Amino acid sequence: MKPRFTMVLSLAAGMAVGVVATQALRAQSKPPAYVIAEIEVANQEGYVKEYLQPAEKAILAGGGKYLARGSKTASIKGEPPKRIVLQSFESLEAAQAAYASPAFQDAFKIGEKYAKFRVYAVEAAPPK
């Protein structure tokens, strides 16, 4: 019976180590972040022709993924923005880096000629 007891004890210890290691890895990973841009376009033609492509290229190069852009919106409370863009990033730091990149900053200088922007990022809530 002793070998059986040793095997069961070893299995239980291995499972406990695995649970602790999994929890430690989850605690170390950063939550994803979402960037929300509220955009009021004054010159649609210039915005589309000059700004959209370089801005999209810079965001994708920075690891961003588009979840919604220019889609239909519905006001829940208050005035809805004219145009919404929603992106996801691996982390808040990745979002900030993508928007601080020289490529995006160059595109943004062009975009400011054609639209007003309000852009902000938020970390995802921790899973429950």
Nearest CA to 34 among 2, 70, 59, 5?
A: 59
3-state SS, one letter per residue, for 23-53: HHHHHHCCCCEEEEEEEEECCHHHHHHHHHH
Q: What is the pLDDT of residue 47?
A: 96
CATH entry 3.30.70.100 includes domain 33-123 = yes
- Integer-rounded Cα Rg, in Å, for the chain is 23
Q: Tokens 């649609």 — which residue? A: 44
What are the boundaries of each domain within the chain? 1-29, 33-123
Q: What is the pLDDT of residue 3?
A: 63
Give the pTM: 0.74
Please work out, in degrees rounded to the nearest 5, the angle formed at the alpha carbon of residue 36 by the alpha carbons of 82 and 56: 90
Write out the chain's pLDDT in tens, 128 residues.
566 655 555 555 565 556 555 554 455 588 999 999 999 999 999 999 999 999 999 999 999 999 999 878 888 999 888 899 999 999 999 999 999 999 999 999 999 999 999 999 999 998 77
